[in-house]
Amino acid sequence: MEWIAAGYSSPQLLINYVGFLMMPFIFIGLYAVQIPRVSIGVLVAAILYGSVFVYFGHTTLYALQENIADYEALWFRLGPVYTIHGILMVVSGLLFAILSFGRGVLNRTGLAIFILGITMNLVIAFLPVGDLVQIVGSSIRNLGLVIIGIGLILEKSPDV
């Protein structure tokens, strides 16, 4: 939607907001399904990752209220605080996935794709490419979460 509108649109921001609102619950749930085979580090990572998305949800509402045109304008307004939350997202997401990987509860293919998406977001942040390219890493990250969820629903082996 952002590509088509050449910037933010209200429907796109509202969809983002709904997605961001669910992340804390998703990650606490992903932690919970791993009990008792999981460490406290996974809980800490899940809480941090979810907290970051509470902040990102706030930035979405901010962009709606202030009629922010695009990601670059939003980042210009929020600057270092936004960047710090981006770093926390990468670190806590990687920590969650890496610590969960060896537990054998969550689908390992989904975890690997989740790690790939977060890593792509990190790498793309340092490349001289358009901000819309960041969608690629986020989409891959989300695909990993979908695969993890499907694995839990179907109760398939984590190695599938």
> Percentage of the chain surpassing pLDDT 90?
74
pLDDT of residue 160: 42
Distance CA 60, CA 89 (A): 16
pLDDT of residue 4: 57
Give the largest CA-CA distance in the chain. Answer: 47
pLDDT of residue 1: 54
Instruction: Provide φ and ψ at 104, rounded to 5°.
Output: 75, 20
**H or E element: which one contains 74?**
helix 71-101
Mean pLDDT of the chain: 91
Distance CA 18, CA 20 (A): 5
pLDDT of residue 155: 78
At residue 26, does pLDDT exceed 60?
yes
At residue 119, does pLDDT exceed 90?
yes
At residue 158, does pLDDT exceed 70?
no
pLDDT of residue 129: 79
> Percentage of the chain surpassing pLDDT 70?
91
Residue 147 · residue 106 · CB < 8 Å: no
Distance of CA 117 to the CA centre of its chain: 9
Supply the pTM of this predicted model: 0.88
Query: Where does the pLDDT of residue 62 fall: very low under 50, low under 70, confident under 90, or very high at 90 and above?
Result: very high
pLDDT of residue 131: 64
Distance of CA 64 to the CA centre of its chain: 20
The two three-digit tokens of residue 136, written as one number: 């690629």
